[in-house]
Amino acid sequence: MSLNCCNTFDGLDEPVRPTPGGIKHRLDKENHKKQQQKKVRHLCGALIPTGGCQHKAAAKGFCQAEKLSPDDLMMNFNHLYEKPNKVDQDRAILHLLDITQVKRKRPKVQDVSKQKDRNVSVKYNLLCNSHPEKVPVCKATFIKVFGTTAAIKLERVTLRTALVKDVRKLSPQHQTYSLEAFHSLILHFAPTHTGFSFYLLYSRLLMAALHFNHNSSREVARTSDGEVRYAVRYPRFCKGGWVVCPIKEKPSYAYAAALMESLSEGYSRSPETLRESSAVLSSTAPAPISTSCQEIAKDEAVGLYLARHSRFNTGN
């Protein structure tokens, strides 16, 4: 059987052996133009890494690129592009970055429309053989060492939506775990299935706040041998899975004794002051919610009720 030539996407003639069954020939992916371009991108075009820092001597504390030798630059370059796939390369880039939440925003321009909404601060680092820790560098040096391809990967990794949300959760401003724990504690002191007066509910809220502040920073419980105690729990969101949680020490109620002692001392020192404080608290009590309702006579309400339901009783 003779061989025919088939023109591929990259302009090369590839020998094809026709089959009697009429099966279409599938082009070799190694000859595909997109595959060749992908290989070039993965290898960064065989570039030689160089430094790109042009900062003045006053900015050396911010960028310490002078500590890096050509061998260090080549080591960082090989450390990234020797990774076999994109996931490992992204992990290598994230290892060299320090991503934190922006603590203070100082606009560089006065025009609000031109200001960028930046919630993440990125610090760039490189590895050095003669330095035990990562060496901080500027963005220009970081991009120059790894090439244009690494800059694209860096932007894709750092601006990923999931990463930005995770970094935002690292800030205490956006964390709600402590607040949710306090709300759960309030239900123990003032359960919603029980009605309380304003003074009683106000007192219970204050006691819940005292208890939370006194016990929120408890130490982890330890055994007699000094080992940390743990507990295995099965929360509902794990759907049958388990989690390990460290056991904290038992809560303390020393604040209650201190509160009673302070109250006793205040009463023995000046009883009139406590009575005045109690009167001020009584005067600030809000009116019941029922007072804001519009009152109606009982006979009028019954008449309106019967008139509204009379259409359903036409057969009687």
Tokens 């244009």 label which residue?
148
> Which amino acid would we find at residue 219?
E
Burial of 287 (0-12, 13-18, 19+ CB in 10 A): exposed
CA–CA dist 235, 246 (Å, integer)? 15
Q: What is the DSSP letter of 229?
A: P
Per the CB < 8 A criterion, the answer to whether 79 and 96 are in contact is no
3-state secondary structure of 167: helix
Residue with tokens 């922006």: 102
From the list 29, 152, 134, the residue with the least C-alpha distance to 72 is 134
> Which runs of consecutive H residues, i.e. helices, occur in 107-176?
139-158, 161-169
Pairing of strands 230-233, 243-246: antiparallel
Instruction: Going from the first residue of the chain to its last (316 residues), give the mean pLDDT of each consecutive group of 10, the final group possibly shorter.
Output: 47 49 53 61 47 55 76 81 79 83 70 69 83 79 70 68 74 72 92 88 92 90 91 87 91 90 88 86 82 87 87 60
Cα-trace Rg, the chain: 36
- Are the C-beta atoms of 94 and 125 separated by less than 8 Å? no
In angstroms, rounded to a whole number, what is the distance separating the alpha carbons of residues 27 and 24? 9
Rounded Cα–Cα distance for residues 141 and 51 (Å): 5
Q: How many CB atoms are closer than 10 A to CB 65?
A: 23
pTM over 0.85: no
Classify residue 175 by its DSSP letter.
-
